[in-house]
Amino acid sequence: MLSISGITFVRNGIERGYPFLEAIRTLSQLCDEVVVAVGDSTDGTREAIAEANIPNVRILDTHWDDTNHQGGTELARQTMIALRNAIGTWCLYLQADEIIHEDDYALLREEIKKADRDPKVEALLFRWLHFYGTYDYIGVGRQWYRREIRAFRNTGKVISWGDAQGFRTRDDRGRVRKLRARQTEVRIFHYGWVRPPQAWKAKHVAFHRLYNAESPPPFDTPDGFPHICYELAPFQGTHPAVMQRRIEHDRSWTAQFDPTIRPRKPLLVALSDWIERHTGWRIGEYRNFIEIR
């Protein structure tokens, strides 16, 4: 019988400005159970999840290895803790800054049902909207990944890959290979680049330590926001309902973001983006999956 486990992980989500409660609520509305690996936080993150009383949520208390600086693999290790405790026949994975719009719920459920009937399909690909600076702009171009796996069969052989951006699987001989995935039109609203200036500093330090043993460089920008996005586009749609309260609350600081402060786009990136706009082809796009039609 088809069942769906939602999985996610978080550590110090309040301090670092993650919409983790919104992500967990999203999973709760779509899944039969939600497994949340909650790292050893110091900012009340675990208490916030417990007090929210979100249905079907199971908290796993985890320890983060702060000596692990190998390519963000600690993120994958935390993901695997949640995955190993999931009992559903399918898993739906959201990171703590990823939300699915309620307009896509019915489509997602139908896509999982259809995939469950086709043994060739091991996973489903979602499309990304990367919000940047505020909730009014999205980053565009090859600087941002367009799609990735967020739902997959829970075979017991799937593993979180790299720094937990996607997944792969082990075959019967233990060799790792990419999952066979089908594209869907389900959207991931990614808010990881929208957070107040004080949260940016905390995230900057935490993420530097995931990839580097040495101390992080100072986070010093004129307005407290990072400015690394080459190109922004106004967002024309609606945000998920679970995000509305946060968006209203955050207007006091999102108004400080200046979308005109951007680095010059490198020539090769500009050329690739031009080709993509005119042909739909993204040159050399990284694909952590085998796409099947």
CB 64 within 8 Å of CB 75? no
Contacts of 63 (CB under 8 A, 6+ apart): 39, 40
pLDDT for the residue 174: 85
* Measured distance CA(248)–CA(265) in Å, rounded: 32
Residues belonging to the chain: 293
Q: What angle do CA 137, 138, 141 make, to 5 degrees?
A: 140
Candidates 4, 106, 13, 101; CA nearest to 56 is: 4
Q: Which domain holds residue 292?
A: 1-293
User: How many folded domains does the chain comprise?
Assistant: 1
φ, ψ (nearest 5 deg) of residue 268:
-65, -35
Which regions in the chain score pLDDT beneath 50? Answer: none
